[in-house]
Amino acid sequence: MQRIIIDTDAGVDDALAILYLLASPGVRIEAITTVFGNVDLSTATANIAEILTVAGASVPMIARGADGPLAGQRVDAAEVHGDDGLGGWTRRGRVSGPALDPLPAPVVITRLARHYPDQIDLLLIGPATNAAIARLLDPEGFALLRRIVIMGGAVFGPGNVTPAAEFNVFCDPWATRHVLDSGIPVVMVPLDATRKAVLTRKALEGALASRSDVRAAFLRTICGHVFRADRGALGEDGLFLHDPLAAALLVDTGLATATRNVGVAVETTPSEGWGRTTAVSSGAPATVVLESDLARFLPQLLDRVCQ
């Protein structure tokens, strides 16, 4: 059994990643922790209830985390994900959520790592702030994580929020630096890989066929919003599968077909380069994914997300 913690800012591609992991065999989600990013912390936390309700699933723990970065101003991506982070899904009204853990997300991360030493994989699909705080508060507990997979960075190409930076890292570059410097094995899934993983409207509709159930409605709503947002970059109705690809690489390492083990430097000086991630010869190495087996990943994603 693979034990994981999902740390998320609960936008559209986060929802797809969570649905994928809930349907992945041999995976136990020990906790979902929330962080600011695509939307504010309260909205991100409320969105977990929406996703779990659509999936008809539960997880042992849900915990709120950081509502802003270690340094700098908070930004969001509501223009991409919608004001509710789910493409307007909650205009129909929100569901009531499960009880939140009384402990904050960083404490939940380290306590689970201590309870299951060298067994917990941490998936970061939002800003890395919760993980950084966890390391600062309890470095010995944090060191008991088995592995960290980060969706973030643009190591050999341009960013998506500025020419230099990818959104998750841009939100809190200091936090990303803390995680990369932790000494725990890190797999970075940057834009270099995720920009090549695209879900088109045609593929989604082909998988849903004529379904009209709640899950189908949810997927059409959340994806439809981002199809429109990403159309300019793609030239068609589609969305980049940033977080789902990172989730898939967490549970199926064979999907990575090209990687590089390099040091990754993060620009934390306020400048036009804020949040830039660069391959360097020094520093703790990360496994940077550059290519993945999309012919296997895309059908697998649709099968698990649309089930």
Helix H segments across the chain? 12-22, 41-55, 78-81, 105-115, 129-137, 139-142, 167-171, 173-180, 191-194, 201-208, 214-234, 242-251, 294-305
Edge-to-edge strand list for the sheet holding 62-64: 62-64, 27-34, 2-8, 120-125, 147-151, 186-189, 285-292, 256-266, 277-280
Integer Cα distance of 298 and 155 in angstroms: 23
Do the Cβ atoms of 37 and 77 come closer than 8 Å? Answer: yes
Written as one string, the DSSP assignment of 205-230 is HHHHTT--SHHHHHHHHHHHHHHHHH
Residue 180 φ then ψ, to 5° = -65, -30
Determine the distance from the C-alpha atom of residue 201 to the mean position of all C-alpha atoms in its chain, rounded to a whole number.
21
Q: What angle do CA 224, 192, 79 make, to 5 degrees?
A: 35
A 10 A CB-CB count for 103 gives 16
Is 115 in the active site? no
* Closest to 8 measured CA to CA, from 85, 116, 90: 85
Q: Please enumerate in sequence order all residues whose Cβ is within 8 A of that of 277, keeping only pairs 6 or more positions apart, or say none.
A: 152, 153, 154, 155, 165, 166, 169, 176, 188, 190, 264, 265, 266, 267
Residues with catalytic roles: 242
